[in-house]
Structure 1
Amino acid sequence: MSHQTETAAFRYIDLFAGIGGFHAVLDSMGGECVYAVEIDKAAQDVYEANWGMRPLGSNDKGDITLDTQTELEVNVPEHDVLVAGFPCQPFSKSGAQKGMDEIRGTLFFDIMRIVNDRKPAVVLLENVRNLAGPRHVHEWDVIIERLRKAGYRVSHTASVLSPVKVAPEFGGHPQTRDRVFIAATRVAPLRPTPEAEEALARGRIVLPDPVQDTDETVKPIALDHLKMQRPWNLMADLPLDEKNVGGSSVSVDEWRWIDHWERLVQRMRAMLAHEADRAGLPAKEIPGFPIWANVWTTDENERRAALEGAAGMAWKVSHLRKNYELYDRLRSYDAFLASTEKGADEKGADESRWTPNWLGTTRQFPESRQKMEWQAQDSGSIRDCVISMRPSGLRVKQMTHLPALVAISQTPIIGPLERRLTIEEGTLLQGLPASFKGATWKQLGNGVNTGVVAQALSAQVERDAALLELDERGRRVLAAVRETMRVTGGDLREKIAAAVTRGQAKVSRTDVVEGSRAA
């Protein structure tokens, strides 16, 4: 925990802080972090190494519950902005539990304890997209209800934002990463400006009642005006390092699987050209449904059993039928080539056995490598693409943008560079500078994208500018965010890099002081 300096534009707290994605944005906007809390020790280390403070909250463990779940007021300092990338947890559905009791025992309870006690002007929460999905309708309704009852304007419609949808000049990055943002702004000013105090006293300003808000009165924040207007280009837009980088190599087995599937891709392309020629139509693209070689068979009994086993799962039945049809078409193409004068491939192998032979080799692979999903449209080769080794199979995509960063086992392979994405490049994808120290793939995957956070906060303060102008704290936040976005256009990379440099310098100064004391 720290105390505000005279030069800070506003104060903020960073809950479930991870490695500090929110910190990067708010620090670069002139804010000062007066409280940060993160329970994971490895993430604490990275946070401290880059921001010069250990996110332990007001205790020595980084456990937010130790600072909030007391009968007294929360042990959290006053602040203007609260940010949190909180975990999604189920809430009680018992009719006997209402209000704060309904969320007791969840980490959202801790957020609301702080919100109710400290009443920050701005609250910005981030979560996975599923929070606003059909499986979490109850949780979503409760979150919005609790924030509104605490006196905050917030839309019931989810704001789903992703860096890939934002142009790079506005802070976007070539990564698909859909996240839900909940932007809540306090209605009644805690510290009204003199003008607002007089206007409120005379009734010239009538504050809205958040509990009565609807989707019509409070719109979700949106970034449609910042949309990417051209295809992303990974080589130029990330950018990617064309050199071979240590720790990014692809294993011999992985190349064997990739090149084996490449043979099928080229075979399918030849088959599609043949079918189009016979029909007098343009050739179709390689199918985009998941190709499951592990289910390919000509045995009708096996097919029937698989379809019956998938009964009730329409998507799976559809994929199975498409796979059986594809296998039959490939076998027909084998027969056609075998019937020609040549009847053998360039190596002299019997064309009539091409697909069964390919399948026989495939069946020797791990089951997850017997599946492939082609999302690369008209790309010429798998090696021209981004390849992800997923539990559900190989996924092949164009060299435009990357999937969301997840575990190290799924780190994308950059086909043209014949290596994996590096941790430094993953750091850039999240909008952090290459100088950022110590992050792991798991931590990056759990983090927030700084470009999206900056634009989300900007959209929130502009939507609720009239409310923020009434409050001294809100006015400071509004002015700081507006000025930063005016100067940068939303591309905060240089400011964030400078913030990281300042944070790392704090660590260096601390080391020097501790070293001199030890001496």
Structure 2
Amino acid sequence: MSFSFVDLFAGIGGFHAALAALGGSCTFASEIDPLAKAVYERNWGTDVAGDIVELTQDRMGVPEHDVLAAGFPCQPFSKSGFQRGMDETRGTLFWNIARVLEERKPSVILLENVRNLAGPRHRDTTWRVIVRTLRDLGYKVSSEPTVFSPHLLPPGLGGRPQVRERVFITGTYVGRERAWAESPDAPLLLNRPIGGWDPQSWDVEHHLPLEDDHDIAGVDRYRLTPSETYWISVWEDLLTEIRAESGNAKLPGFPIWADAFKAVPEIEAATPGWKADFLRKNSAFYRQYRSIIDSWLARHDYLRDVPPSRRKLEWQAQDAASLWDTVMHFRPSGIRAKKPSYLPALVAITQTSIVGQRRRRITPREAARLQGLPDWFDFGAQTDAASYKQMGNGVNVGAAYYLLREHVLRDKDDIAKRAPHVVQSILSAPVSSDVALGGAGGDRVATTGILAPI
């Protein structure tokens, strides 16, 4: 038996993919971004409403439903923003969710946001306000946040090689009195691997999987530019020389700053402590390998053709043999290199992962796979930049699917009192979102909430 759900702040439909695969039918979706709305409607065949504020002010524009899902805006809480939380206008959009819950009282809620929502800056303010509000509205909600990432899920449960730690809030409607008396302290899931899975077992090439370059239309637009290739080769030259000199010793774990290669660190009185520490470490590193570094600088014209942000290298690839064996990102803080096991979180800004062995960035299709979307998901004719942004803002399908299923398993007796069909539908679904969605590259599945091929 199907259940109904609404999808608020819907983006391109990560929650829709998860809930439809669990047997749900979407009765309402809202998203303010016109490009994301177009992608959502293209794939899910659902008309998407606009601004949730207008839909919840004078009269309730959100219909009755069994499950409410919402990835409410994260910018007020993100470390990449000003972290004003509830003080910023977008932060108050939580109250529009609360308005829907107050009037519609769905049996189950599933909310998602950045980890920093429950971080040190917001834990004693925003986080506690959210928990208190949900309990006042009658929802049994854990005191401790559930922080989870798709790289902690094994492939057989819909996991993905992406470190994407997010706060998930799940709740069951039981009425205010019981919500305050019976809400658990412990999170739904601990932030640790599931079922004995070792996240170091991920392999981007195999598990994503990467597309064959010959099958990628316009593959050249994803390849590194000559300048980017040059910057990497400059650092590869230094790493090769230092490893030969040191007998393949591990490279420093601190950021290597070429502009800080000085025999005596230049530290001004107003320099922050963290930066002063890096300057001292880089100076010591320079003194240790001075002859190699001086020769390297001379060989590459003292890095005149390397911009300041590319004169920094963050080596996080442990014992990888070469930069070309890593996954890299061009960041404002420098070139970051990591082992090619799992990727950092997709973000809404241009820091698309570079697979060193392929000498190219991951494609939008590969990024979609990283978010758990099946290969039939279609972005239409929009720009790659728009697709990357939408996926950076999106929810991971496998993580959402697993979290909701685990919540229903835990609270099935309470949920069944109001909505037995929710329990029946979700617990009869496959344990893996990939199986329910047809798998990467699979045909579009004709389950209750997912359309037949369009």
Instruction: Please report the TM-score for the alignment, with normalisation by the length of structure 2.
Output: 0.88
Name the counterpart of 1:284.
249
| Residue pair 1:152, 1:186 contacting (<8 A) in 2 also | yes
Name the counterpart of 1:254.
228
Query: Does the alignment pair 1:366 with 2:307?
Result: yes
| Residue pair 1:170, 1:489 contacting (<8 A) in 2 also | yes
Distance of 2:240 and 2:293 partners within structure 1: 17
Letter in 2 for 1:309: A
1:479 corresponds, among 415, 424, 437, to 424
Name the counterpart of 1:191.
none
Name the counterpart of 1:468.
415
* Structure 2, unaligned runs of 5 or more: 77-83, 380-385
**SS of residue paired to 2:372:** coil
Shift of residue 489 of structure 1? 7.8
Task: From the superposition, tell whether residues 227 and 64 of structure 1 become closer, same or farther in structure 2 (CA, over 3 Å).
Answer: farther
Name the counterpart of 2:403.
456
Distance of 1:256 and 1:104 partners within structure 2: 41
| Residue pair 1:22, 1:450 contacting (<8 A) in 2 also | yes
Distance of 1:176 and 1:434 partners within structure 2: 21
Structure 1 stretch 76-85 or stretch 179-188: which is displaced more? 179-188
| Residue pair 1:103, 1:109 contacting (<8 A) in 2 also | no
Shift of residue 364 of structure 1? 3.7
Distance of 2:222 and 2:140 partners within structure 1: 46
Instruction: Describe the superposition over 1:440-498 as per-residue Cα deviations: whole angstroms up to 9, x where unpaired.
Output: 00001101111000111011111212211222x2x211111111135x48743417952
Name the counterpart of 1:51.
44
Name the counterpart of 1:494.
438
Task: From the superposition, tell whether residues 69 and 500 of structure 1 become closer, same or farther in structure 2 (CA, over 3 Å).
Answer: farther
Distance of 2:325 and 2:287 partners within structure 1: 28
Task: From the superposition, tell whether residues 227 and 13 of structure 1 become closer, same or farther in structure 2 (CA, over 3 Å).
Answer: farther
Query: What is the Cα-based RMSD across aligned positions, in Å?
Result: 2.6
**SS of residue paired to 1:417:** coil
**SS of residue paired to 1:139:** helix
Task: From the superposition, tell whether residues 224 and 253 of structure 1 become closer, same or farther in structure 2 (CA, over 3 Å).
Answer: closer
* 1:25-40 equivalences in 2 (<5 Å): 25-40=18-33
* 1:383-402 equivalences in 2 (<5 Å): 383-402=324-343
Distance of 2:89 and 2:178 partners within structure 1: 23
**SS of residue paired to 1:459:** helix
Name the counterpart of 1:297.
262
Distance of 1:458 and 1:172 partners within structure 2: 14
Distance of 2:53 and 2:196 partners within structure 1: 39
* 1:220-239 equivalences in 2 (<5 Å): 220-222=188-190, 224-229=193-198, 231-239=201-209
Shift of residue 363 of structure 1? 4.6
Query: Does the alignment pair 1:41 with 2:34?
Result: yes
Task: From the superposition, tell whether residues 215 and 264 of structure 1 become closer, same or farther in structure 2 (CA, over 3 Å).
Answer: farther
Query: Does the alignment pair 1:242 with 2:212?
Result: yes
| Residue pair 2:354, 2:362 contacting (<8 A) in 1 also | yes
1:309 corresponds, among 264, 270, 276, to 270
**SS of residue paired to 2:357:** helix
**SS of residue paired to 2:168:** strand
Query: Does the alignment pair 1:417 with 2:358?
Result: yes
Distance of 1:504 and 1:479 partners within structure 2: 21
1:132 corresponds, among 115, 118, 143, to 118
Letter in 1 for 2:270: G
| Residue pair 2:416, 2:422 contacting (<8 A) in 1 also | no
Instruction: Describe the superposition over 1:40-67 as per-residue Cα deviations: whole angstroms up to 9, x where unpaired.
Output: 00001100110112311xxxxx011111
Task: From the superposition, tell whether residues 457 and 323 of structure 1 become closer, same or farther in structure 2 (CA, over 3 Å).
Answer: same
Shift of residue 253 of structure 1? 0.1
Shift of residue 310 of structure 1? 2.2
Distance of 1:224 and 1:353 partners within structure 2: 45
Name the counterpart of 1:197.
none
Task: From the superposition, tell whether residues 53 and 500 of structure 1 become closer, same or farther in structure 2 (CA, over 3 Å).
Answer: farther
| Residue pair 1:169, 1:489 contacting (<8 A) in 2 also | no
Distance of 1:504 and 1:184 partners within structure 2: 28
Letter in 1 for 2:426: V
Shift of residue 220 of structure 1? 3.0
Shift of residue 318 of structure 1? 2.2
Say which one has the larger Rg: 1
Size of the alignment, in residue pairs?
Answer: 430
**SS of residue paired to 1:484:** coil
| Residue pair 1:431, 1:493 contacting (<8 A) in 2 also | no
Shift of residue 251 of structure 1? 0.3
Task: From the superposition, tell whether residues 68 and 489 of structure 1 become closer, same or farther in structure 2 (CA, over 3 Å).
Answer: closer
**SS of residue paired to 1:116:** helix
**SS of residue paired to 1:492:** helix
Task: From the superposition, tell whether residues 264 and 103 of structure 1 become closer, same or farther in structure 2 (CA, over 3 Å).
Answer: closer
| Residue pair 2:444, 2:451 contacting (<8 A) in 1 also | no
Distance of 2:408 and 2:293 partners within structure 1: 66
